[in-house]
C-alpha cells in the first residue's frame, strides 16, 4: 500500500519546518525571508504572514522605506512611477505618512531585488551602478528604468540570475 506524502509540519519557530523524509528520518528546513536590505522594519519578519502584519491596512510609514528610496536616488517622478502614485502625492508625504499597501509591497520587492543584487555584486555601489547602465539583455534599457513596468522586478531579477550563472549582462 502506497504511503501518503507527509505534509511539512511547522516546528516551534514560524520559519522552521520539519519534513518527515520517511524511515524515521526528519529534516529541519529554515525558510528565510529575503527582505530587509534597506527596509529594516521587515528584518524581524519570520514569514509572509509577519510581512502582511507589518504592512497592515495602510502600508509602511515613509520613514521606514526612506533608506531604500535614498539608496535608489530616483527623481520624484521616477519614484512615483515605480510605486504607482503621482509625484504630487509624494510631495505631500512626510516621514510619518503611510504610503499605502501596494506601494509598500512594490518597495518590498525592490528591497528584495536590492539584497540579491548586492549579494551578486558584493557591493552596494557596484549594484547601484549596474542599475543605472543600459543593459543588452533588457533591450538596452537601464534596469532602474524597467522596475516600474508590471514585471520589471522579475525581468531585472532574471538578468541578475543570468549573471550569477556566468552570462554577461
Question: pLDDT tens digits, residue range 152-165?
Answer: 999 999 999 988 88
CB 147 within 8 A of CB 81: no
In the sheet that 9-10 helps form, which strands lie side by side, from edge to edge? 9-10, 16-22, 25-30
pTM of the predicted model as reported, rounded to 2 decimal places: 0.79
Share of the chain above pLDDT 70, in %: 88
**C-alpha grid cell, residue 131:** 542599475
Q: What is the number of alpha carbons within 13 Å of residue 134 lying toward its C-beta?
A: 4
Amino acid at each position: 500500500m502506497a504511503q501518503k506524502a507527509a505534509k511539512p509540519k511547522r516546528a516551534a519557530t514560524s520559519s522552521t519546518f520539519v519534513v518527515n523524509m520517511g524511515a524515521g528520518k526528519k529534516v529541519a528546513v529554515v525558510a528565510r525571508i529575503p527582505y530587509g536590505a534597506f527596509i529594516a522594519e521587515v528584518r524581524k519578519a519570520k514569514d509572509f504572514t509577519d510581512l502582511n502584519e507589518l504592512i497592515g491596512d495602510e502600508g509602511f510609514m515613509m520613514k521606514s522605506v526612506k533608506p531604500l528610496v535614498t539608496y535608489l536616488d530616483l527623481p520624484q517622478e521616477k519614484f512615483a512611477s515605480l510605486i504607482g502614485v503621482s509625484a504630487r502625492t509624494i510631495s505631500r508625504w512626510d516621514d510619518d505618512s503611510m504610503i499605502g499597501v501596494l506601494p509598500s509591497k512594490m518597495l518590498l520587492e525592490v528591497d528584495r531585488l536590492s539584497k540579491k543584487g548586492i549579494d551578486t555584486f558584493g557591493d552596494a555601489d557596484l549594484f547601484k551602478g549596474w542599475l543605472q547602465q543600459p543593459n543588452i539583455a533588457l533591450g538596452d534599457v537601464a534596469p532602474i528604468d524597467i522596475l516600474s513596468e508590471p514585471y520589471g522586478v522579475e525581468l531585472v531579477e532574471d538578468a541578475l540570475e543570468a549573471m550569477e550563472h556566468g552570462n554577461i549582462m
